[in-house]
Structure 1
Amino acid sequence: MPGSEQLSESRAQLMTQLRTRILPHLRTAELPAVVVFGGSSGAGKSTLFNSLLGEEVSPASVIRPTTRMPLIAVHPSDVVALDGHGLLDMGKLVAVEGAIPGVVLVDAPDLDSVDAANRELSRRLLDAADLWVFVTTAARYGDAQAWQTLSDAHRRGMTTAVVLNRVADRARYTVRKDLTRRMNDVGIGNDPLMLVPDAGPHEGLLEPGQVAEVRTWLEAIASARIGAALVDRTTQAMLPELRRQLLELSDAVEMQASAVEHLRAQAEEAPKKPREKLVSNAKMGRFGQGAPTTAWLSFASSGGALASLAVGEKPGLLVRRYQGSRDAAVTTVFDGVMSAIRAGLDQAVTTTDEAIRQAWDQGMVETAEFQFEAATVLNKREIIDTALSRWKSDVLTMSAGVGDNPWLGHGGVAALLGAAAGGVSGAEQACSHLKVASSIRKARESLATHLDEAVGEVVSAYNGVLDQVPVGNGRQLRLRASEYLDRV
């Protein structure tokens, strides 16, 4: 539906917050604060991350993307507290002696990674953060995507900090002034802004003094129990947004359910006219017109194989031995009826398929994928063959009660009944001679039923795809949202 991408993003945010923030804090009172290092490619996140830990735990390289598997670094004393935490499903946990007790550091993939999966994972890690540290450089701090992410984080109540990395002394004042202005513009002017001086070309870790400001700030968060206050602040700020998302998603779920039902109604309505025409023709016996009737008249004319049957005249002993030719003749007439029925059913099935596609194409929902899935299971020829085969079987059963007669064998009687049911008037009259005229209406009803079911199978192919859409329960979701009223 229109807006589905944004709604999917909102759902992903909400699910991440539930798994990594709401549920873990309900299970465990004491949890370390989650600090996620994010930013654009080439900002030096991994080098800063490693330098703060005093150990090479996250690969740093000029090859992009560098960070593919997020690293979750904790002090060994915090490993138990993270047991079962949803954050562990998003990256690799490493216990590092140089980590800060009470703080979890996460090295996230680049926000602008060329890998879509990396970009998605980076967004989800930001949703899981108690604090987001945006790492940028003097050359990259103006990137629009990063600032849009900062603005969104502020709107959702997330606590942020900015680390300006690789700052040359000559540019320190100018860059800091402009960066401060940008932070004020997006509403985070009061958030921490820390600078890491440019170390020039180098490999490995930065000197401890170069990251001292960031390290001291993180230690203060942990030691002064600011971390717990930070978690509470982020959680409380998140709840109103979470409730808004729940209400928005509940509306979307109900819209989705309505959209699915609308598509289902369109699929049911599409074959209405061809379906009614097909069933009416079957019940009124209109498939015997044209070629089948002409064939009957030829066989029933004087000297023809069906001449005696047409008038109810029992053939003499000499003629009775030609029963096979009479069976073949009436079968030829019945085959003509079957061809007419097949043509009518094929037209109805094709018209129904096209009508459903056309109706779905004109709606607001993008249905190309649904139509493709329906096409993979829709076998028109098999549907038609099955319907005709079942009807022939019914006709054979209905004619089984006719005993020996001087004109036709069992197969011939069945063909005669089928021709009569199809609407060959001469065959209808001949049925009275074999005492099966009473079965003609029943055979027509059977034909109408099988044709109707065949068209219904086309509809079912499309509705079967809709059955796979998990629409959820919007009312129940709205009820869950109301439970946050006493927390907001």
Structure 2
Amino acid sequence: MSRPPATPEVTGNHEGGDGVSGEDLPASGTGPGRHERARSSTGSFADSDGARYRADSGEQRFEQVLDALRERVRSVEFADGLPGAEEGRTARNDILHQLDDYVLPRVRNPDTPLLIAVAGSTGAGKSTLVNSLVGEQVTTTGVRRPTTNSPVLACNPADMDWFSETFFLPTFPRVRQQGLAMPGKDGMLVLAPSECMPQGIAVLDTPDVDSAVAAHHEFAATFLDTADLWLFVTTSRRYADARVWEFLQVARDRNTSLGVVLSRVPERGRGQLLEHFNAMLEANGLGNTARFAIPETDQIRGERFTANTADAIRDYLADVTGELAQRDRVTRRTFRGVIESFRSRVPELAKQVETQVEAGQTLDSAAQDAFTTALSNADAAVNDGSLLRGTLLARWQDIAASGVLARTLRTRGKRRSPGADEQTEDPRVAALQEAIRDSLEALVVAVAERAGEEVIRQWDTVAGGRQLVERFSCDTVAADFSERVRRAVAEWQKRVTEMVSADGAAKRSVARFVSFDQNAFTLVLMVQLLGYEAVQESLGRTTPSPQRLLRGLFGAESLRNIDAMAREDLLRRIGTLLYEERSRFTEALAAARIPGEDDAVQLYQATYNLEIAR
């Protein structure tokens, strides 16, 4: 970063800050170019009282804690669309980038060159300033740069290896260019070696932070996260833009070493404009920041400022980076600021995890509650006689009043001709069996559909819940649900028949004299199970009571046993069907990869471990 010969006219203005006044700045060419980069034997980041981040006894532990923090942060996943997803991913990626690209490389390689990032607004003259600071043209200027996303890094040729993929931003492609660094492909880092750069210092010309292309200012933020010192450039027309202050506030919150340049300052109204700019810096907690003003000038030649336009900025950089101790002060301040920032940034990430956990719990509870209610409603409908309406009731009344049941009883020992059962079987028995099956199927499908609708309604109240439904095709019921219900009811009917056979009239003395049609009396038992007693009063006494028929045949105790087992079996089968339907929603939640409570706890623990280790 060589200095041009002094000229009588000084157009660069140092407005003070960071404890370095204009009078304190070097008056002659004693900039960073006059110093060799001395290599530290201990490679420590020492604070003012002599404690070291990389002391021999603690450096390995500190690195292990940072590695553990990185792995913990990296493992956190967020479910798309749900509350906390966007904020959480941004926070996670921000922390990861800074750990990978700034903190860990400097812990593992403490002699990394000091990196000065020149960042700022579109059209602020960043590239012109970079060329002026370097002392030769290393980057292109003009209207094309804002449309590209190819930052240029200028450094001494001896430091080029430091910025290879091995040490610096390993995931970013890069190209090395000799002489003038032309813009590379979008997203490519351009390395520009220059003998004008002192060894141990690099300057980075970053993309615009207020680019209309979101990827550009995200890319700029990534490079700012890797820098030891920010030189932030904005214009007299754009310094009040929100995007400018977002970046400046990040530097403030992380205690990053910072200098601010206000460019294209018109002569008319200059004092008032600088007063307002300084007031904004004060209001945003940046009152001690070094600040500079570059006048609106056409004194540009060869893509660099002419005369003394950039001298004050160059002298400031010479002051803060000229000697090894001074450079360590800059890097130490930024490094410590980043480590300090993790005390709040990691817990903030944990809070976004907790937000997702809470959303996931809300969604899961909605599914559980809806299907628990569905099972309860099905149980109530079975017990209160709700099913004994319409076709089912008509079938029962028809078969009960017809004498069919009486005809199924026969005295033992009386032989019937082969095929007599089939010839005398009344079709009304089969019709009643089908009516019971249809009613139970309709009940289960109805409560499942209402539960599914309730889940979707509840999920609609949570941001991103509807997207989960659509993404995982969570219809109210599965396409094959009716068929599964029908099979389950048929299996239940078969099971009840087996109960009647195993625990029925065979235990009573009447069984020695009377045999009966098990299928027919199984249907009678089912009518009793479906709540006939609850609706008997409304039906009158014209229809025989199923309970009276069954008790006379089986006996009260045996009937109670069969009744209890059949009810329990039916409810269990309905519960299984509803559980399978609920699982479609819970599986959608699992597929969304919502973080768990342990993820937040472990992030808090990692923060605590870092606090102890530092």
Q: Under TM normalisation by the shorter chain, which class is it?
A: 0.7 to 0.9
Task: Give 2:233's aligned amino acid.
Answer: V
1:43 corresponds to? 124
Post-superposition Cα deviations, 1:309-363, rounded to whole Å, max 9, x if no partner, equal: 644589964973855x948654433332222122211221133223334555667
1:351 corresponds to? 450
Question: Which shows bigger deviation, 191-200 or 38-47?
Answer: 191-200
The one of 187, 191, 195 aligned to 1:95: 191
Identical aligned pairs, as a percentage?
24
Tell me how many residue pairs correspond in the alignment: 474
Task: Give 2:369's aligned amino acid.
Answer: E
1:376 to 1:220, Cα distance in 2 relative to 1, 3 A: farther
Cα drift, residue 66 of structure 1: 1.7
Cα drift, residue 476 of structure 1: 2.6
Cα drift, residue 392 of structure 1: 2.4
What TM-score do the two structures reach when normalised by structure 1?
A: 0.77
1:452 corresponds to? 575
Task: Give 1:334's aligned amino acid.
Answer: Q
User: Is 2:436 the partner of 1:337?
Assistant: yes
Cα drift, residue 277 of structure 1: 2.8
What is the 5 A alignment of 1:119-130?
A: 119-130=217-228
Whole-angstrom CA distance in 2 between matches of 1:418 and 1:88 = 75
1:395 to 1:478, Cα distance in 2 relative to 1, 3 A: same
Task: Give 2:583's aligned amino acid.
Answer: S
What is the 5 A alignment of 1:150-161?
A: 150-161=248-259
Whole-angstrom CA distance in 1 between matches of 2:568 and 2:523 = 12
2:182 corresponds to? none
Whole-angstrom CA distance in 2 between matches of 1:391 and 1:196 = 85
1:81 to 1:312, Cα distance in 2 relative to 1, 3 A: farther
Please identify the structure whose Cα radius of gyration is greater.
2
The one of 601, 604, 608 aligned to 1:478: 604
Q: Given that residues 74 and 103 in structure 1 are in contact (C-alpha distance below 8 angstroms), is that contact kept between their aligned partners in structure 2?
A: yes
Whole-angstrom CA distance in 2 between matches of 1:8 and 1:61 = 35
1:145 corresponds to? 243
Cα drift, residue 469 of structure 1: 0.4
Higher relative contact order (CA 8 A, sep 6+): 2
Whole-angstrom CA distance in 2 between matches of 1:340 and 1:360 = 30
Task: Give 1:89's aligned amino acid.
Answer: T
What is the 5 A alignment of 1:3-402?
A: 9-49=90-130, 52=133, 54-55=136-137, 57=139, 60=141, 62=143, 65-82=146-163, 83-85=165-167, 87-89=169-171, 92-98=188-194, 100=197, 101-167=199-265, 175-196=273-294, 198=296, 200=298, 205-207=303-305, 211=310, 214=313, 217-218=316-317, 222-225=321-324, 226-250=326-350, 253-254=353-354, 256-258=356-358, 260-282=360-382, 287=387, 290-298=390-398, 310-311=408-409, 317=417, 320=420, 326=425, 329-360=428-459, 367-373=465-471, 375-376=473-474, 379-393=477-491, 395-396=493-494
Q: Given that residues 21 and 128 in structure 1 are in contact (C-alpha distance below 8 angstroms), is that contact kept between their aligned partners in structure 2?
A: yes
Whole-angstrom CA distance in 1 between matches of 2:96 and 2:157 = 28
1:415 to 1:282, Cα distance in 2 relative to 1, 3 A: farther
Whole-angstrom CA distance in 2 between matches of 1:107 and 1:309 = 100
Q: Given that residues 162 and 192 in structure 1 are in contact (C-alpha distance below 8 angstroms), is that contact kept between their aligned partners in structure 2?
A: yes
The secondary structure found in structure 2 opposite 1:193 is strand
Post-superposition Cα deviations, 1:76-106, rounded to whole Å, max 9, x if no partner, equal: 4333334444634365333312273323433
1:174 to 1:368, Cα distance in 2 relative to 1, 3 A: same
Post-superposition Cα deviations, 1:120-146, rounded to whole Å, max 9, x if no partner, equal: 333343333322221112322232431
Task: Give 1:449's aligned amino acid.
Answer: R
- Ranges in structure 1 where 5+ consecutive residues have no aligned partner: 403-411
Cα drift, residue 443 of structure 1: 5.2
The one of 469, 476, 480 aligned to 2:594: 469
**CA RMSD after TM alignment:** 4.5
Post-superposition Cα deviations, 1:8-34, rounded to whole Å, max 9, x if no partner, equal: 554443333222222112211111223
Whole-angstrom CA distance in 2 between matches of 1:461 and 1:446 = 23
The secondary structure found in structure 2 opposite 1:79 is helix
Q: Given that residues 199 and 206 in structure 1 are in contact (C-alpha distance below 8 angstroms), is that contact kept between their aligned partners in structure 2?
A: no
Q: Given that residues 40 and 110 in structure 1 are in contact (C-alpha distance below 8 angstroms), is that contact kept between their aligned partners in structure 2?
A: yes
- Ranges in structure 2 where 5+ consecutive residues have no aligned partner: 1-81, 173-186, 502-516, 533-543, 554-558
Q: Which structure has more helix as a fraction of its residues?
A: 1
The secondary structure found in structure 2 opposite 1:87 is coil
1:385 to 1:215, Cα distance in 2 relative to 1, 3 A: farther
Q: Given that residues 300 and 310 in structure 1 are in contact (C-alpha distance below 8 angstroms), is that contact kept between their aligned partners in structure 2?
A: no
Whole-angstrom CA distance in 2 between matches of 1:69 and 1:453 = 59
1:406 corresponds to? none
1:448 to 1:170, Cα distance in 2 relative to 1, 3 A: same
1:244 to 1:207, Cα distance in 2 relative to 1, 3 A: closer
What TM-score do the two structures reach when normalised by structure 2?
A: 0.63
